[in-house]
Amino acid sequence: MAERTVSWTQDEELLHALAAGSISPIRTVESTNPTPFASFLTTLAFRSALPLLAQSPARTDDAIIGEVEFEIEGAWPFSRSLRVSGSVEGPWDLGSMALIRVRQAFFGDDGWLGEVTLGIYLPGQGDFGGKPPPRVPRAPLPRTEPRRIPVSIADNASLLYRLLGDRNPLHSNPNAGPAILHGLLGVASVERALEDELGARLTALRCRLNRPLRTGELAELELWPNPEWTRLRLSARGEDAWTVASARLSPNAALGG
């Protein structure tokens, strides 16, 4: 597909960090020239994926993000504008639903910034006789005791995040009790917890979103540190919210890590 551009404002960077629960000046205070969380790239990826989804023959009005994979390496551009090239893979048949993957690469003034792949589930569009998606064999979690980190979700997290453009009423129905969290906001909330608890910077993530998170709840992140890929499991309400999850972490110099 032809290259296109995605742009944003500093206010959107700050709003993303606040929705994730951050109060760190390096994320939320304009005078400190803050940088966005790495997971902000996934929010931009969702935004820039919409034209690709519009060209897909699949019906995407009730689509759910079920897989997230990203890596980021370059510096965020001061221009707050990135060039994007991407493609849609699939659809694959999962029986009760279909799966498509939107893969996008992002480029700033200094070259490649990062890449994001979003796996999007399409409820009720499976059973069309297609092939299942290619799968990577699931490695068992280490048997050693993990480190545990709390991941708190604010009561107003979804209301803040929806101001970035995802107005799906699933995340803000005032008559439905605690709102179901946007999947990408869950990624940002985990990144914020890693920064708060470990002083760590997230540079890459792979995860499958099995269960939704809810506003106002306290989830638990288990991690098995590794110099290459740290294995993760996120639990909420006694269930696995994330499975097949791993991350690359590095010390955050801005935090003195």
CB–CB of 204/198 below 8 Å? no
Q: What's the CA gap between 36 and 112, in Å, rounded?
A: 17
Would you say residue 138 lies in a domain? no
Owner of token pair 């799968």: 135
CB–CB of 16/161 below 8 Å? yes
Would you say residue 140 lies in a domain? no
Give me the number of domains the chain comprises.
1
Would you say residue 193 lies in a domain? yes
CB–CB of 171/161 below 8 Å? yes
Would you say residue 116 lies in a domain? yes
Structure tokens at 48: 């820039």
Alpha-carbon 80 to chain mean position: 19
Q: What CATH number does the domain containing 218 carry?
A: 3.10.129.10
CB–CB of 218/153 below 8 Å? yes
Of 169, 57, 65, 60, the closest CA to residue 116 belongs to 65
Would you say residue 236 lies in a domain? yes
Structure tokens at 47: 């935004």
Structure tokens at 253: 């110099």
Would you say residue 139 lies in a domain? no
Q: What's the CA gap between 153 and 222, in Å, rounded?
A: 16
Q: Strand (E) positions, the chain?
A: 4-7, 64-72, 81-93, 97-108, 111-123, 147-152, 200-209, 218-224, 230-236, 239-251
Would you say residue 137 lies in a domain? no
Would you say residue 48 lies in a domain? yes
Quote the crossing angle between the two packed helices 10-19 and 183-198, to the nearest 10°.
80
Could you tell me the residue range of the domain that residue 87 belongs to?
4-125+145-255
* Local confidence pLDDT in tens for the 257 residues of the chain: 568 999 999 999 999 999 999 999 999 998 777 899 999 999 999 999 988 888 777 777 778 899 999 999 988 998 999 999 999 999 999 999 999 999 999 999 889 999 999 999 999 999 999 999 988 778 899 999 999 999 999 999 999 999 998 887 778 777 767 889 999 999 999 999 999 999 999 999 999 999 999 999 999 999 999 999 999 999 999 999 998 999 999 987 565 44
